[in-house]
Amino acid sequence: MAKYVGILTAGGDSPGLNAAIRGVVKASVGQYGMQIIGFRDGFRGLMQNRTIRLESHTVSGILTRGGTILGTSRDKPHQMPVGGEKMDMTDVMVDTYEQHNLDALVCLGGGGTQKNAYHLAQKGLNVVTLPKTIDNDVYGTDMTFGFDTALGIATDAIDRLHSTAHSHHRIIVVEIMGHNAGWLALGAGIAGGADVILIPEIPYSMDVVAEKIRRRQRRGSNFSIVAVSEGAHSSEDAKALAKARAKIDKAEKKPDRKKAKAELKELSASFKNHTLIVTEQLEAMTGLEARVTILGHLQRGGTPSAADRLLATRLGTRCAHFIQDEKYGVMVADRGERAVAVPLADIVGKRKTVPLDHSWIATARDIGVCLGDE
């Protein structure tokens, strides 16, 4: 009997989502005659039972489109904002799944979505997930779709900033997305020829960064490009964060834990303008004029790159085969030339940050890029 499958996209949008939806739909309808419905706006649409019928013709022409035709949201099943309160709406979602007689639910998303999908799997739903995010920080997969496109956009931005920084003899500090992982800033920084790259995995010293820029000045280069991850921190701030996190781990009683969490939230919020602060400090420390460019959501918009279309289509089509084989509770992961099923239980709560011995870090150091630590 042909299977009934639901599909949703959750978390921040990312180029390649439509290519993945198209891959899932075309392969599951074309190869196995499955019936597919899409839920709008992530887990919220699953809760509210807002659907769209997806057939091969519905997904034709979406391969090259950015965003997601289904819409997305950052809502979590167990903490859904309802009437000004956060409520656990998991059971309502289970009801929707049963109402449609679904055999499987496909969830496309980043680390948070893997966790939310696992939560639904534990409630008995047959879940398969696909890894997307421009941050490339989903554990268990070589690559997430969206990353390659964002890498291209950020690299292009650095290229453009180079000529204006050079002409005006300025420092340009460019903020690149990535709160917890520095893949994007590191990749685009190397590809775009940044002089300094600051990532969350390597706490930086302003003295080291300023000295790198002054050294360039002494050699006659009166401009510099500094690529900064959203989540990069100075050594002092990194220490304060580590202390705040340790306080949460140590808290035994619920109210203490809540208080420690609130303190961490407040501390993190105080770092909101850190790229601007870095820019001002560098201007003061080097005597060079400095400007800041925050790339923001530009990095998530627009047409997916060829590599992202290919990856999303590969993972999406493989997902259809896993559903047919009833391989559930898994993420379709990219591993070399293959797409493999990784149990969600093995990846939830983990994040793929840049390992300190990664070749990109060694490469950056080899070409004299300052990573803020030495």
Residues 6+ apart with CB under 8 A from 290: 170, 171, 172, 173, 279, 280, 282, 283
All residues at 6 or more sequence positions from 338 whose CB lies less than 8 Å from its CB, including other chains:
none
- Give, in degrees to the nearest 5, the angle at Cα 300 between 294 and 301: 105
- Residue 359 has what DSSP assignment? H
Decide if 138 contacts 131 (C-beta within 8 A). Answer: yes
Q: Restricting to residues 251-310, name those near ligand F6P by CB under 6 A.
A: 300
Structure tokens at 73: 């949201």
Contacting residue, 178, 200, 203, 304, with ligand F6P by CB under 6 A? 178
Tell me: does residue 179 bind ligand F6P (CB under 6 A): yes
Catalytic residue among 103, 135, 195, 308: 135
Q: 135, 148, 195, 201: which one contacts ligand F6P (CB under 6 A)? A: 135
CB neighbour list of residue 16: distance below 8 Å, 6 or more residues apart: 132, 145, 146, 149, 304, 308, 309, 311, 312
Q: Which of 70, 134, 151, 260 binds ligand F6P (CB under 6 A)?
A: 134
The least CB distance from residue 179 to ligand F6P, in Å, is 4
Q: How far is CA 68 from the centre of its chain?
A: 15
Closest CA to 131 of 151, 117, 150, 152: 117
Shortest Cβ 191–ligand F6P spacing (Å) = 18
Per rule CB under 6 A, count of chain residues that contact ligand F6P? 10
Nearer to ligand F6P, 16 or 110 (CB): 110
* Contacting range for ligand F6P; rule: CB under 6 A; set: 2-10, 117-125, 173-181, 262-270: 173-181
Residue nearest to ligand F6P (CB): 177
Residue 324 near residue 91 (C-beta atoms within 8 A): no
Give every CB contact of residue 42 below 8 A, 6+ residues apart in sequence.
8, 9, 10, 11, 71, 72, 73, 74, 75, 109, 113
Would you call 95 a catalytic residue per the annotation?
A: no
User: Interaction with ligand F6P in 211-230: which residues (CB under 6 A)?
Assistant: 230
Q: How far is the CB of 137 from ligand F6P (least distance, A)?
A: 8
Given 46, 54, 120, 177, the residue binding ligand F6P (CB under 6 A): 177
In terms of CB distance, is 86 or 179 closer to ligand F6P? 179
If the CB atoms of residues 15 and 178 are measured against ligand F6P, the closer one turns out to be 178
Report which DSSP code applies to 373: -
For ligand F6P, which residue of 5, 6, 12, 144 counts as binding (CB under 6 A)?
A: 12
- The piece of 132-140, 248-256, 336-344, 347-355 that touches ligand F6P (CB under 6 A) is 132-140
- Contact between 133 and ligand F6P by CB under 6 A: the answer reads yes
Instruction: Find the distance separating the first CA and the last CA of the chain, reported in whole Å.
Output: 62
The residues carrying an active-site annotation are 135
Q: Which residues bind ligand F6P (CB under 6 A)?
A: 12, 110, 133-135, 177-179, 230, 300
